[in-house]
Amino acid sequence: MSFRLAAYAVCVEEGRVLLARHVGPDGESTWTLPGGRVEHAEDPFDAVIREVAEETGCDAVVERLLGVDSRVIPAEIARAGVKHQNIGIFYQVRITGGELRPEPNGETAESVWTPFDEVAGLCRSSLVDIGIALARTTPATGHVPPVTVGDLIRH
């Protein structure tokens, strides 16, 4: 089984959430939250700030921990064809400066402030739904009911 620890930024402002459009090697485009892999010996708190800067061009500060999501993706639907566990740490993050831009030499083609009512119609990672649910409900346990594992939500 493969394993990944990742930190994700949930940036909410005036009824909008900051989403990043990820373009994979196959050219497929999906929306996700800014964030990604925590490097070896890196604190997830620092990782989320680094990822926001790399992917969006913006400076950010962490306001609070929202929660942790742990999911096991069956081999049949995992990208590498091997059973995979992803642990995602979700932070409420506030943008403090910078200009939205594509990720230089990366897979983030653009970052956009997206109204909540438009999110449901996007081809998106389930991470978006988890992050929004955590931001809206701020459960004391930091846990929301599982979102169906299936990689992408398509409409």
DSSP string, 66-89: EEEEEEEE-TTTSTTSS-EEEEEE
**Closest by Cα among 108, 109, 130, 110 to 119:** 130
pLDDT digits (tens, 9 = 90+) for 30-56: 999 999 999 999 999 999 999 999 999
Tell me what pLDDT residue 149 has: 55
Tell me what pLDDT residue 32 has: 97
Q: Which residues of 87-124 are buried (b: 16+ CB within 10 A; e: fewer)?
A: ebbbbbbebeeeeeebbeeeebebbeebeeeebeebeb
Tell me what pLDDT residue 155 has: 39
Instruction: Name the band, by pLDDT with cuts 50, 70 and 90, for residue 150.
Output: low
Tell me what pLDDT residue 148 has: 63
Query: CB of 113 within 8 A of CB of 104?
Result: no
Tell me what pLDDT residue 52 has: 98
Reply yes or no on whether the pLDDT at 111 is more than 70: yes
The Cα-based distances of 117 to 1, 73, 114, 134 in angstroms read 37, 28, 8, 17
Instruction: Name the band, by pLDDT with cuts 50, 70 and 90, for residue 78.
Output: confident
Reply yes or no on whether the pLDDT at 109 is more than 90: yes
Reply yes or no on whether the pLDDT at 20 is more than 70: yes
pTM for the whole structure: 0.91
Residue 104 to residue 122: CA distance in whole angstroms = 24
Tell me what pLDDT residue 74 has: 87
Residue 49 to residue 149: CA distance in whole angstroms = 26
Tell me what pLDDT residue 146 has: 72
Reply yes or no on whether the pLDDT at 85 is more than 60: yes
